Structure 1
Amino acid sequence: MWRHGRVRRRAHRALAGLPGTEVAVLPDEMPYAYALPGAGARGRIVVTTALPAGLRPAEHRALFAHERAHLAARHHRFLLVVQLSAHTNPFLRPLRTAVSYTTERWADEEAARVVGDRRTVASAIGRAALVSRGTPIPTLAGFAAPGPVPRRVAALLGPAPVTRSWPSVFSAVGAAAGAAAAGAAVSAMSSANSAVTMVLILHAATPL
């Protein structure tokens, strides 16, 4: 948790002197973007000057919708719960990758809903991944973070999930993460049981 706090404070300090707009543009030759949580309901989208050059206007909208989805759903809290749980008990370490992917897919689907074109979001993710290839990605960056980008793109090129399935599914995942964290604090055995439960939920909830 202390490391998480340090990363967020450092990210906020990097924006000192920039206009207090929702989107903060950092002069940086490395292409990346991320959602930076703030106090209460506030948060900002950080993007470097190098990233927009590789995207079309419609893909810019998809990128911003994706990062807004992270902020609106407070995905950083899901990730923090899993990180703390994994540090508490080794049984929960595999969940870090699963939950990270799940939150990215959640934001992908919300961006597709906002933009109204799943292919545009898929294209934006693919292009951002290509221009970011080989770039050291900051801890908070996620739009084209290393990982199963082809799997995310393939999911977006497929049929949309059933209406309203994403919020209910991911609310369940969030509850499972909290239960897993509580279990880890009680005993190793309860942590193991929580881990198995959460893996099954994530496997069932996350599209291929």
Structure 2
Amino acid sequence: RRTKRPDQVGARTPLPRTQPLLNGLTADERRALFAHERAHLAARHHRHLLTVHLAACANPLLRPLRSAVVYTAERWADEDAARAVGDRRVVARAVGKAALLSSGAPAPTLAAVAAGGPVPRRVAALLAPAPAGRHWPPVFTAVGAAVWGAAAGAAVSAMSSANSAVTLFLHLHPA
């Protein structure tokens, strides 16, 4: 059994995988990274992600929704971090560097830069002008009817899937 030295008692040390990440970022980029993570916690994105994950498990037709919600939650946290830090470019650098450092790549490669995945899209969005504040479209417009209809359809589909799962469980449980 190993005991801690007196100078280690109560000391918080980062996990081994996070230390290289934190060392690879400047102070401003670390501030942006922490603001991004605080935004996830404040908005309780974990709840949204769990809900959409369970809905996608219950109804495979909702799987594309899962990736859209994951990307949107990341962009939401990016924008909140940009407002907190006050510099969109710092957040863009932090997102890009964190992706490279966490993937284990020693340096940016052409393949990583050319990839069309979520990180390059997020960085490009952060380097563009800040989006204007938007609200849900009115219901009585073509766009509003489509958006609200899709949202209602997804909710009904998720509830129907949950109802089917519970009914199946109740029928199979006595057996």
**Matching residue's letter, 2:89:** R
Structure 1 residues 61 and 122: CA distance shift in structure 2, 3 A: same
RMSD between superposed Cα atoms in Å: 2.7
d(CA) in 2 for partners of 1:75, 1:179 = 22
Structure 1 residues 187 and 132: CA distance shift in structure 2, 3 A: closer
d(CA) in 1 for partners of 2:152, 2:102 = 33
The number of equivalent residue pairs is: 131
Structure 1 residues 178 and 62: CA distance shift in structure 2, 3 A: farther
Moved over 3 A (4+): 176-179
Q: Does 1:162 align with 2:132?
A: yes
d(CA) in 1 for partners of 2:72, 2:131 = 14
Structure 1 residues 184 and 50: CA distance shift in structure 2, 3 A: same
Task: Report deviation, 1:155.
Answer: 0.1
- Counterpart in 1 of 2:166? none
Q: Which structure features the higher share of strand residues?
A: 1
Structure 1 residues 84 and 49: CA distance shift in structure 2, 3 A: same
TM-score in terms of structure 1 length: 0.56
Confirm or deny: 8 A CA contact 2:58 2:161 kept in the other structure.
Answer: no
Structure 1 residue matching 2:20: 3-state secondary structure: coil
- Counterpart in 1 of 2:160? 186
Q: Does 1:26 align with 2:10?
A: no
- Describe how 1:84-163 pairs up with structure 2 within 5 A: 84-134=54-104, 147-163=117-133
**Matching residue's letter, 2:62:** L
Confirm or deny: 8 A CA contact 1:118 1:156 kept in the other structure.
Answer: yes
Confirm or deny: 8 A CA contact 1:126 1:153 kept in the other structure.
Answer: yes
Percent of counterpart pairs with the same letter? 63
Task: Report deviation, 1:156.
Answer: 0.3
Structure 1 residues 93 and 56: CA distance shift in structure 2, 3 A: same
Confirm or deny: 8 A CA contact 1:111 1:121 kept in the other structure.
Answer: yes
TM-score in terms of structure 2 length: 0.66
Structure 2 residue matching 1:161: 3-state secondary structure: coil
d(CA) in 1 for partners of 2:10, 2:119 = 31
Q: Which structure features the higher share of helix residues?
A: 2
> Larger radius of gyration, structure 1 or 2?
2
The gaps in structure 1 that reach 5 residues or longer are 1-16, 31-47, 136-146, 189-208
Match of 1:62 among 32, 38, 61: 32
